[in-house]
């Protein structure tokens, strides 16, 4: 795949960081011009890079084979979890190769139902996607948010569920927001920003979110402003309405950190909010209420999480479910009690308790795997969910909390025999002795002779756990003789807040050390060897890949980074990048600069031979702006001394990943696996 790299102009631009401090340094930024996504020069760069990528990947015979096989594998019916509102049931479904999932409404959980909303009809190319759904309490209206071309920007619309017709409502300029209905279904709360200036829709920083109440039948300019804090431009606001319709609960967030504020007031009043959580010291998640007694899942004085009850009138608190051995990930309030979803070594467990947190009963799950999309109501005994694992496609299920019985409502038919594969969980030892969980998926008869192409995937950030899940594309990798490994790194959410904090700020190097330990583990155990090992990650996981590439190129044979955060000195200047300071710190402080400078992938490339590298991004990514990948690709191509390829794949009309049409996902997966199989042969 070796090809000459496209020429890219190197400017003499530099930035002086903290010149009056010991940490100060002048940093060259020769590709600063690539931050202007709209310039002719940047567009020419993208065109040349895509041409190089296509010339390298299209001739590979395995790519066409993979494209055909992935299309076959993908062409099976899939369904998400059922949820209920107002006596009606709802479910997202895909018949196989539809670009976007279609929303159905049913009279009971197992009914065939009818199409309520087909996002595939919203655009000609399948790039219009659903960014949020909320059904009114009486199930007469659906608020739904539309995202175009992969952007995080949302436009809220309203559909009449009975007729299937849209109301005239159009509410643009929303971002990072859900919709919370009034109890009489007459309107809903949502959050939005000021309309972005021309040319800044995909790059301008997002500050000063406001919470609004929209009433059906009115124009957006008539919306009622509920909360704004111009003195705190980084604060954002999410609204919930208690199930009994008595209270408005406002979640105040700042950045991507889970620590938040909780403000509560009677829904019918317009008085002052009561502060349940008055500072950013812990995370609080509203679970439900019994009159003025409000229940919260919190990590306050409990890094693994606990359930508390807060009396809104007296301010008194009591513990309902204490911190346990596993991370308490979520709590669903049901008739007579709660469903507790915990993680133990990154796998789901479900437990039923009463309203006092006693009489615990364990729900029998199909095996090692993940519970997702848990939903129910405080006055009902039925909970809906999906269950999945690496070799178990997501099945929709229904839990009877009175009997503890889990009933599968629907499971997909892949037409593929998976009995020849198995999942193992092993533990690598990181540099400081920390045990790092590692899921390994491969053939049961796998010979541990170090010969297998192996793909190591990781994330390690923002308190997000990587739990066992089924991805149909990975079957093509397994069928080609590959091994899949998924690492649970510090910085993630597998073991609670202490595990998360161990991979943040000046401790971020722990994440890269954990990943390197997993790479060594796979080689030492004979699954693979460095020349046969590929690494992959996206977003924060793209940073992980970039850092591993620069720190430990000797451990790997190929790297794939999706929408990666590669310029750690400037990430905070674009769109929502400032919000990541909660995990990363910032180059705006001398201490933060020193930490970030030490591992920033863009700033740690040197003249040497690097492994084969494929970088992917979307030209509409307004979360991790594509300049991260553009600049890193240009610099890596500039310093590359060996013959291994460095490819940049830029998808048009695509963003950070959410809502990407099926056809584009299949094409991208074919490119990735063809690249890896070629590089790791």
Give the model's confidence band at 23: pLDDT under 50 very low, under 70 low, under 90 confident, else very high.
confident
Check residue 202 and give its pLDDT.
Answer: 66
Specify whether the CB–CB gap between 116 and 104 falls below 8 A: yes
Q: Is residue 163 packed enough to be buried (19+ CB in 10 Å), middle (13-18) or exposed (0-12)?
A: exposed
- At 248, give phi and psi (nearest 5°): -100, 125
Whether the CB-CB separation of 613 and 549 falls below 8 Å is answered with: yes
Euclidean distance between CA atoms 48 and 43, whole angstroms: 9
| Residue 460, pLDDT score | 98
**Total-model pTM:** 0.94
Query: What torsion do the CA atoms of 352, 264, 462, 663 make, to the nearest 10 degrees?
Result: 80
The reply to whether 147 belongs to the active site is no
Percent of the chain beyond pLDDT 90? 92
Instruction: Spell out the domains of the chain, with CATH numbers in brackets.
Output: 14-72+419-679 (3.40.50.1820), 332-411 (no CATH)
Helices 40-57 and 627-639 pack at an angle, to 10 degrees, of: 60
The end-to-end CA distance of the chain, in Å, is 12
- CA dist., res. 156 & res. 190, Å (int): 9
Q: What is the DSSP string of 550-612?
A: HH-GGG-SEEEEES----TTTGGGSTTGGGGHHHH--TTSHHHHHHHHHH-GGGG--SBPPPE
Phi and psi at residue 16, in whole multiples of 5°? Answer: -95, 115
**DSSP 8-class letter at 314:** T
Q: In the sheet that 306-311 helps form, which strands lie side by side, from edge to edge?
A: 284-290, 293-298, 306-311, 317-321
Catalytic residue among 539, 582, 600, 629: 539
Q: How confident is the model at residue 270 (pLDDT cuts 50, 70, 90)?
A: confident
What band does 657 get if pLDDT is binned at 50, 70 and 90? low
Judged against a pLDDT cut of 80, whether residue 3 lies above it is answered with no
177 is catalytic: no
582 confidence band (pLDDT: 50, 70, 90): very high
For residue 564, pLDDT over 70 is answered with yes
CB atoms within 10 A of CB 258: 18
Nearest to 581 by CA among 603, 562, 565, 561: 565
Sign of CA dihedral 133, 136, 139, 143: negative
Q: What local confidence, expressed as pLDDT, does residue 655 receive?
A: 64
Tell me the C-alpha distance between 397 and 83, whole Å: 11
Q: What is the pLDDT of residue 57?
A: 98
Compute the CA torsion angle 156, 157, 161, 166 (nearest 10 deg): -170
Question: What does the DSSP assignment read for 97-152?
Answer: S-SS-EEEEESSTT---EEEE-GGGS-SSS-EEEEEEEE-TTSSEEEEEEEETT-S
Q: How far apart are CA 549 and CA 561, in angstroms?
A: 10
Mean pLDDT of the chain: 96
- The pLDDT assigned to 127 comes to 86
pLDDT tens digits, one per residue of 78-96:
999 999 999 999 999 999 9
């Amino acid at each position: 795949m070796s090809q000459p790299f496209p020429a890219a102009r190197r400017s003499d631009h530099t930035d002086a960081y903290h010149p009056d401090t010991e940490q100060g340094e002048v940093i060259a930024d020769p590709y600063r011009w690539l931050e202007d996504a709209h310039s002719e020069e940047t567009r020419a760069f993208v065109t040349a890079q895509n041409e190089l990528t296509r010339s390298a990947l299209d001739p590979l015979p395995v790519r066409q084979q993979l494209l055909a096989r992935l299309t076959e594998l993908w062409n099976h019916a899939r369904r998400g979890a059922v949820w209920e509102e107002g006596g009606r049931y709802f479910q997202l479904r895909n018949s196989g190769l539809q670009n976007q999932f279609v929303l159905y409404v049913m009279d009971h959980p197992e009914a065939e139902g009818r199409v309520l909303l087909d996002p595939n009809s919203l655009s000609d190319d399948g790039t219009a996607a659903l960014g949020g759904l909320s059904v009114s309490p009486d199930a007469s209206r659906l608020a739904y948010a539309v995202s175009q071309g992969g952007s995080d920007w949302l436009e809220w619309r309203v559909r009449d569920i009975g007729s299937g017709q849209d109301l005239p409502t159009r509410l643009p300029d929303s971002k990072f927001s859900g919709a919370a209905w009034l109890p009489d279904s007459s309107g809903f709360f949502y959050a939005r920003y000021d309309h972005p200036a021309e040319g800044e829709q995909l790059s301008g920083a997002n500050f000063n979110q406001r919470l609004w109440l929209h009433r059906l039948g009115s124009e957006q300019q008539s919306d009622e402003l509920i909360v704004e804090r111009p003195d705190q431009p980084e604060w954002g606001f999410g609204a919930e309405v208690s199930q009994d319709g008595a209270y408005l609960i406002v979640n105040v967030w700042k950045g991507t950190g889970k620590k938040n504020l909780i403000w509560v007031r009677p829904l019918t009043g317009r008085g002052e909010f009561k502060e349940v959580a008055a500072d950013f010291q812990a995370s609080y998640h509203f679970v439900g209420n019994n009159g003025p007694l409000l229940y919260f899942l919190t990590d306050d004085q409990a890094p693994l999480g606990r359930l508390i009850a807060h009396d809104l009138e007296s301010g008194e608190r009591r513990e309902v479910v204490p911190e346990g051995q596993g991370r308490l990930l979520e709590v669903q309030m049901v008739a007579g009690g709660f469903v507790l979803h915990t993680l133990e070594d990154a796998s789901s467990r479900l437990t039923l308790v009463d309203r006092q947190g006693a009489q615990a009963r364990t729900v029998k799950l199909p095996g090692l795997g993940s519970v997702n999309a848990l939903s129910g109501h405080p006055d009902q005994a039925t909970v809906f969910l999906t269950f999945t694992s690496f070799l178990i496609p997501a099945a929709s299920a229904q839990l009877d909390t009175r009997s503890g019985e889990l009933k599968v409502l629907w499971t997909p038919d892949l037409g593929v025999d998976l009995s020849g594969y198995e999942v193992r969980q092993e533990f690598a030892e990181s540099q400081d002795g920390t045990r790092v969980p590692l899921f390994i998926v491969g053939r049961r008869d796998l010979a541990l002779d170090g010969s297998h192409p192996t793909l190591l995937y990781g994330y390690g950030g923002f308190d997000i756990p990587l739990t066992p899940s089924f991805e149909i594309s990975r079957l093509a990798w397994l069928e080609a003789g590959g091994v899949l490994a998924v690492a649970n790194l510090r910085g993630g959410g597998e073991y609670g807040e202490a595990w998360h904090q161990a991979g943040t700020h000046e401790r971020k190097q722990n994440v890269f050390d954990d990943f390197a330990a997993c790479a060594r583990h796979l080689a030492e155990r004979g699954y693979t060897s460095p020349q046969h090992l590929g690494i992959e990650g996206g977003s924060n996981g793209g940073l992980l890949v970039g850092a591993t590439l620069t720190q430990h190129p000797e451990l790997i044979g190929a790297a794939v980074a999706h929408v990666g955060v590669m310029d750690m000195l400037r990430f905070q200047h674009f769109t929502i990048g400032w919000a990541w300071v909660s995990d990363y710190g910032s180059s705006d402080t001398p201490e933060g600069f020193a930490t970030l400078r030490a591992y920033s992938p863009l700033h740690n490339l040197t003249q040497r031979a690097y492994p084969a590298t494929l970088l992917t991004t979307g030209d509409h990514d307004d979360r991790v702006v594509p300049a991260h990948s553009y600049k890193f690709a240009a610099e890596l191509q500039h310093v590359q001394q060996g013959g291994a390829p460095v490819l940049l794949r830029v998808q048009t009309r695509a963003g950070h990943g959410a809502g990407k049409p099926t056809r584009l996902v299949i094409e991208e997966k074919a490119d990735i696996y063809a690249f890896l199989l070629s590089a790791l042969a």
